[in-house]
Amino acid sequence: MTRAREQEPGGEIDEVGAMRWRRGTTVILLAIGWVCAGSSFAQQPAATTSYATSLDAPEDLAARIATILEDPALARAHVGLVVQVAETGEILFDLQGDKLFVPASNTKIVTAAVALEALGPAYRWETTLAATGQIREGVLEGDLWITGSGDPWLSRETVRSWPALLRRAGIERITGDVIGDDRRFVGPQWGEGWFWHEIYASWASGVSALQVRPNTVRADLIPGARVGDRARFQLRHQGPGIPMETDVRTGAPGSDVRLHYELPPEGGDVRLTGWIPAGDTVPLHLATHHPTLYLLNHLEQAVGNAGIEVNGSFRRAAPEEAPGPASWSHGVVSDSLGAAIAEMLKPSDNQVAESILRTVGYEAGAEGSAEAGLDVARGILAGWGIERGAMALSDGSGLSRYNRIAPSAMARLLRSMWQHPEHAVFLAGLPVAAVDGTMRSRLSGTPAEENVRAKTGSLAAARALSGYLTDGAGETLVFSLMLNDYEVSGSVAVALEDLIIEQIALYRRPVQPGWPQYREEGP
């Protein structure tokens, strides 16, 4: 694995340092023939039409978009785009809308919509601490059970506060074990179709029913003094690390960073091998070995710092193990699902998405698995008129390469959510162009600034952007744009996305009196 740049926790697999367009940049680019310093835009004949003007008819919008799509950067790419009027469903533009595309993190739009329908925005998770045994003279004669329900909000600070709860319960020593019960979620901690070589990257951190946020570790690789010396692995924070054997060597100054993560076939710790250049400290943002074990590591450290003695071990619950009667218990209740929707969509948090999907499956009376959650999703989507083949999903985050979505189906979902009782919660969770989330550095100085609310998506050679905008006439448009198999950098693909969305934002046409409205106020 070659390091491109350090990632923010929960962020997408993204090259997005998307170009920050200044006011008027798009018009200049089109007028001079798509010239962008440092990009792979090919020279084109100078455009003869000013693209700063508004568009009055769908044909004008289609002509603008067609010009952009003729760029050589998309010569081998697959492009799908659907633009519809939210209130009426009128189609303004449709290019391969019924074809299937890898949606990347646009999958989270589906997860959010299904969760709001199935669970409601007020849903909360609860983590339970329970003493199974008598508490006598400061001694818990038994085990302490920590039972999780999949809370994606549980912070390190909260876990560090638990020793104070134990002291208030009169517990100074535990004769048995501290047991983490994560059995509400079943199956592997990763999703089906995730790249195996990325499961140690922060964005691909696994999930369990008992997990701490963030479930990642930041560290540095510090080169040695001479070429060939072993590099030093150093955590950036105090707290538990991850079981990892490092054998990274120091290369020549200015050489490439080449790192490889290996899991020995016989099990054991992960090995990190490779080379880093002399004089260049390399930052790492890594997923932990297992979410439950990482939480227990934090708790063990906090309990030890508080002076509470544990005679047993800190471990995960065995498959058939059952706790005894509780002499004391305490519930830790999370923030709401409505708040979690924004925490998932704006920064594109993969772990929150996977936790929500498994919770949907569990609360439907099935097991807490991705497949159970997807079964619920299929039923809800069918009720919204979205056939099964138009949204073929394998996970809730979009990390899976098996996911396929048709832009027309995504537009249908967005229209369904436009009329949904929880529309306001859903809309508030989406990133806003030039304001926040994964859209904060995009479309600044254009008609789309603070106007577009949309979810990004990014994997290697796959980009997607779907959401809402208000056109020049004040009507709400839904759009779903998907790019697959392009041969240029992700930054160029994002720039083309932004050019297309800007043209949609310029669309304007006369609206007849009595225009139908499904609600008094738009977004």
Residues 353, 488, single domain; the answer is yes
Q: Tell me if 43 is assigned to some domain.
A: no
Residues 356, 439, single domain; the answer is yes
Q: Which amino acid is present at 485?
A: D
Q: What is the pLDDT of residues 425-466, one digit of tens each?
A: 999 999 999 999 999 999 999 989 999 999 999 999 999 999
Q: What is the pLDDT of residues 454-498, one digit of tens each?
A: 999 999 999 999 999 998 778 899 999 999 999 998 999 999 999
Tell which of 287, 321, 349 closes a domain.
287
Residues 457, 391, single domain; the answer is yes
Q: Tell me if 66 is assigned to some domain.
A: yes
Residues 268, 375, single domain; the answer is no
Q: Tell me if 189 is assigned to some domain.
A: no
Tell which of 254, 287, 320 closes a domain.
287
Q: Tell me if 72 is assigned to some domain.
A: yes
DSSP string for 273-315: EEEEETT--EEEEEE-S-HHHHHHHHHHHHHHHTT-EESS-EE
Residues 243, 350, single domain; the answer is no
Residues 342, 453, single domain; the answer is yes
Could you tell me the two tokens for 255? 């050489």
Residues 235, 359, single domain; the answer is no
Residues 244, 362, single domain; the answer is no
Contacts of 379 (CB under 8 A, 6+ apart): none
Range of 409's domain? 54-121+338-505
Q: Tell me if 373 is assigned to some domain.
A: yes
Signed CA dihedral, 513, 517, 519, 523: sign only: negative
Q: Tell me if 348 is assigned to some domain.
A: yes
Residues 478, 366, single domain; the answer is yes
Tell which of 226, 261, 287 closes a domain.
287
Distance of alpha carbon 177 from alpha carbon 309, whole angstroms: 11
What's residue 288's pLDDT?
A: 85
Name the burial class of residue 195, with classes exposed (0-12), middle (13-18) and buried (19+) by CB atoms within 10 angstroms of its CB.
middle
Residues 265, 343, single domain; the answer is no
Could you give the strand order of the β-sheet that contains 462-470, starting from the edge strand earlier in sequence? Answer: 91-95, 78-85, 476-484, 462-470, 453-459
Task: Spell out, as residue ranges, where the chain has pLDDT lower than 70.
Answer: 1-54, 264-268, 509-523
* Domain count along the chain: 2
Residue with tokens 């003729």: 70
> Does 214 sit behind a cis peptide bond, omega within 30 degrees of 0 on the bond before it?
yes
Q: Tell me if 19 is assigned to some domain.
A: no
What's residue 266's pLDDT?
A: 55
Collapsing DSSP to helix, strand or coil, 472 comes out as coil
Residues 411, 471, single domain; the answer is yes
Domain with 477 in it: what CATH number?
Answer: 3.40.710.10
Q: Tell me if 468 is assigned to some domain.
A: yes
What's residue 194's pLDDT?
A: 86
Residues 97, 234, single domain; the answer is no
Residue with tokens 């498959």: 319
